[in-house]
Amino acid sequence: MKIVIKCESDDPLKAIVYFSPRDYDNDNKCWLCGSLVTLHEKIAGMVQTSPSKITLRSLTFSLKQFGNVTVGLGRRQDNKVEKDISRSLKTLLQCINLKYSSLNLMLEYWTTLNTQDNLLEILHEAELPISLQLPYELQMKCILLVENFAKHGSFYGLSLFYRKRSIYSQFQEDIYCKFLALQKFMDERIIKHDTEISSLTNFKVFIEEKMLKKLKHSNDTKTKRQPNLKKKVELVSEKKPAKNNLQASEYNFLIEAKLVCLQVNETMLLILLDKYPSRIEEIQKWETRLLYLNKLLLSSQEYDYT
């Protein structure tokens, strides 16, 4: 979905594919988006490189262009949350790639179903600090539980959460935060299955090959689960460079994987694997262990989990 203004008589509002917050009136939307794109193009033309940040009124923006599509993220300068706006935009784009494999495919999906995701909510979830330090005894029991899962399954990696806070993870923090944020995407293809004691959610994700190879996978044999290269797909680039000028940082591959989220009360297990679990008995074992851990955490009165 690419809408470009071709002449001055065209409606500029039609060029805005997505805008949040929604309480802006149309005139302000057109002025803000038009000003940002114009400034970005002029500065890039003068200095021969894209500006990392643009300040307009009381807002600081980071913009990135993909062919005819420009994505921008802004934050008020007086915002007490000191986060790099360029890094936040990168995080959001990584979430989009994880879910749809590319920005263009997300826009096509939106057009097909006449819907839109709440991208600001997704970014907020991806940037939440969610690590939780448990007492030593509880921490060791959680580690043993996760490692027991890893020994009896061919997983890329696992993470364990309590009240949406990370207890133990084989992923780096910036990765599992993005995994959790993916649940905020609106997708009819997500598979959900609820039982009396658990909620199971399965969905497809696209992981950069270089990221997947770095994922921690700890077990007794100290081996790593290798990606299935038959599922390798080219990372969609909105403006793919010629191969003779190809930079390694601009040309990556994605591996299609499955993300399973199993929640029992306030305890949640996040698993990245090749394919969805095929046996109900396997899921029931996961449920039993998570139920035990949830009761253990609830019964502990010595720690504040808030």
- Report pLDDT digits (tens) over 187-208: 666 677 777 778 888 888 898 8
**Beta carbons of 300 and 138 less than 8 angstroms apart:** yes
CA distances from 86 to 51, 178, 221 (A): 10, 16, 40
Q: Which of 100, 126, 152 is the last residue of a domain?
A: 126
User: Is residue 294 in a domain?
Assistant: yes
Which range, 12-16, 64-68, 87-91, 282-286, has the best average confidence (pLDDT)?
A: 87-91
Q: What is the CA radius of gyration of the chain?
A: 22
The pTM (predicted TM-score) of the whole model is 0.78
Residues 50 and 188 both lie in one domain: no
Are 266 and 179 in a shared domain? yes
| Structural domain total, the chain | 2
Angle of helix 85-100 relative to helix 173-181, nearest 10 degrees?
A: 60
Size of the chain in residues:
306
Burial group, residue 107, by CB count within 10 angstroms (0-12, 13-18, 19+)? buried
Continuous segment of H or E residues that includes residue 90: helix 85-100
Average pLDDT value over all residues in the chain: 76
Residues 149-153 have a mean pLDDT of 63
**Per-residue pLDDT reduced to its tens digit, 215-241:** 644 333 344 444 444 444 444 434 443
Q: Which two tokens stand for residue 61?
A: 């923006």
Alpha-carbon distance of 173 to 215, in angstroms, equals 11
306 sits in which H/E element: none
Q: What integer is the mean pLDDT of 271-286?
A: 75
Alpha carbons 105 and 18: distance in angstroms, whole number: 14
Do residue 266 and residue 140 come from a single domain? yes
Q: Residue 15 corresponds to which tokens in the numbers above?
A: 């060029």
Give the domain extent around 260.
136-299
